[in-house]
Amino acid sequence: MKGSSPQTSSKDDTGGCECGTGGTGPGYATPLDAMKGPRERLIYVPCILTGTGTQAPDYLATVDVDPESPTYCKVIHRLTMPYIGDELHHSGWNTCSSCFGDVTKKRNRLILPCLGSSRIYVVDTGTDQRAPRLFTVIEPRDVFQKCDLALLHTSHCLGSGEVMISAIGDPRGNGKGGFVLLDAETFEVKGNWERPTQAAPQGYDFWYQPRHNVMVSTEWGVPKFFVTGFNPADLGKGRYGRRLNVWDWTTHCLLQSIDLGEDSAPFKVRFLHNPDAAHGMVACLLQGTVYHFYKTQDGSWTADKVIAVPNKKVSGWLLPEMPAFNTDMVISLDDRFMYMSNFIHGDIRQYDITDPFCPRLVGQVWVGGSIPKGGVVTVLEDPELNGQPDPFMIQGRRVYGGPQMLQLSLDGKRLYVTNNLYTPWDKQFYPELVREGSVMLQIDVDTECGGLCLNEDFLVDFGKEPCGPARAHEMRYPGGDCTSDIWV
């Protein structure tokens, strides 16, 4: 496969892998052990050219984030995919901390499901971490024929030695919240994880907590409607999700569907990292809310609204009230802080969730969004800000778009941010982002008292890529991170 790699330092580079774990298999024994892992030195990030008119494939970029490296803040390698129009999106590993203790397992394959084509790429990161290569390709027809699923999203490795990928719909564009199972050695499509006829009405993200025999999944919406953009006329018609779905981890049966409200669109979901914890958080895209879900005394699950970002009354936008569009969320490995990105409002928030029933806002930073001065949107009433923020600039570069994907360093001190959501929605909300390309930012985190501060010295500019401006999405460290690893 096509790739490019400039001259780099010859020093040994684990990129933040779990080297030196004493032959105990992949990952770390506990989340707190992971916090003591090595600093990240490499980041893998999908770069999307889909929809830009360049007629070039998407690619996986390797970014150098080692401050001591001569190629710091640079893309040092690009693995180009063989097809055009895939819409690379999220990624996961062949194995992770869920297999800790199994010395036969090694984290060396990155799984890249495609939101657009439903193709699955498997990338070899073990041979050369700085220059990944394509290992194999799972064609969409295998997924369609064996699973009747499409629009693939979240990928997690399982302790069973399998890989599980959530789907948002079926091949015909209907909503369908099912899950694809892959063999993590052969990468054969084994079939569906869920029992026959047990798929949820809609799908998106998922997380599991085996010690409580539970998995939870969320619902974006019906693909045939949102793949062309966000249309307010689709609201109130059952076309956007509303349920947090609760599954029996052992039997693969759907046990409960917790209603979070019409058109809430439950998006990203996270359990606390402590495998004994029966608590988690789910962010609702169209509500600007976060619900705390937890296990009750009778063994069922419930959810309470604990965060509500107020809408802004505006003119010049799709609706008279602008929701935050809280699109991503990450929890620190010690389960103390939760970070949330508001793609439309433009801010990143840090909450102390030591008491998950009562999160406290302790940090906030603005890095873009739809309401800067001089734009097409006029804010008429804002419960939080006294005025519209200035356009976001860093190192002389005007940044378009809003904060979207988040990744936290293992020690919790650095938060990385990219600003691509999904091509049709990027084009709709931030056409300048598609034209100019996205960025990767780094936010310094106060882990003692709380607080966020933009690192002005860190910028990865994807607007100057060889095939033209690209949009960067989810970030992964070679050795695992706060959103890839689950403890069992």
Q: How confident is the model at residue 23 (pLDDT cuts 50, 70, 90)?
A: low
- Give the pLDDT score at 422: 98
The per-residue b/e assignment along 241-268, b for 16 or more CB within 10 angstroms, e otherwise, is: bbbbbbbeeeebebeebbebeebbbbbb
The average pLDDT across 171-180 equals: 98
Q: How confident is the model at residue 112 (pLDDT cuts 50, 70, 90)?
A: very high
Q: What is the pLDDT of residues 399-426, one digit of tens each?
A: 999 999 999 999 999 999 999 999 999 9
Q: How confident is the model at residue 19 (pLDDT cuts 50, 70, 90)?
A: very low
Secondary-structure percent of the chain, ordered helix, strand, coil, rounded to 5: 10, 35, 55
Residue 10 has pLDDT above 90, yes or no: no
Q: Does the CA dihedral 244-246-249-251 come out positive or negative? A: negative
- Give the pLDDT score at 8: 34
Q: Does the CA dihedral 430-431-436-440 come out positive or negative? A: positive
- Give the pLDDT score at 25: 83
Q: What is the pLDDT of residues 49-88, one digit of tens each?
A: 999 989 999 999 999 999 999 999 999 999 999 999 999 9
% of the chain with per-residue pLDDT over 70: 95
Q: What is the pLDDT of residues 243-270, one digit of tens each?
A: 999 999 999 999 999 999 999 999 999 9
Tokens (6 digits) for 340: 């949330």
- Give the pLDDT score at 6: 34
Give the whole-angstrom CA distance, residue 69 versus residue 431: 34
| Length of the chain (residues) | 488
**Cα separation values, 389 from 16, 366, 378, 407, 419, Å:** 36, 8, 11, 25, 18
Spacing of C-alpha 440 from chain mean position: 14
Give the whole-angstrom CA distance, residue 111 versus residue 187: 10
Q: What is the pLDDT of residues 113-172, one digit of tens each?
A: 999 999 999 999 999 999 999 999 999 999 999 999 999 999 999 999 999 999 999 999
Residue 22 has pLDDT above 50, yes or no: no
Task: Give the three-state DSSP class for 98.
Answer: helix
Q: Does the CA dihedral 137-140-141-145 come out positive or negative? A: positive
Q: What is the pLDDT of residues 295-352, one digit of tens each?
A: 999 999 999 999 999 999 999 999 999 999 999 999 999 999 999 999 999 999 999 9
Q: What is the pLDDT of residues 419-440, one digit of tens each?
A: 999 999 999 999 999 999 999 9
Task: Give the three-state DSSP class for 168.
Answer: strand
- Give the pLDDT score at 263: 98
The secondary structure of 423-438 as a DSSP string is HHHHHHH-HHHHHH--
pTM: 0.95
Tokens (6 digits) for 104: 């036969």
Report H helices in 232-275: none
Give the whole-angstrom CA distance, residue 461 versus residue 345: 22
- Give the pLDDT score at 397: 97
Spacing of C-alpha 22 from chain mean position: 30
CB-based contacts of 396: which residues, under 8 Å, 6+ apart?
none
Q: What is the pLDDT of residues 473-482, one digit of tens each?
A: 999 999 999 9
pLDDT averaged over every residue in the chain: 95
Tokens (6 digits) for 309: 């970002």
Q: Within a 10 A sphere around the Cβ of 79, how many other Cβ atoms? A: 27
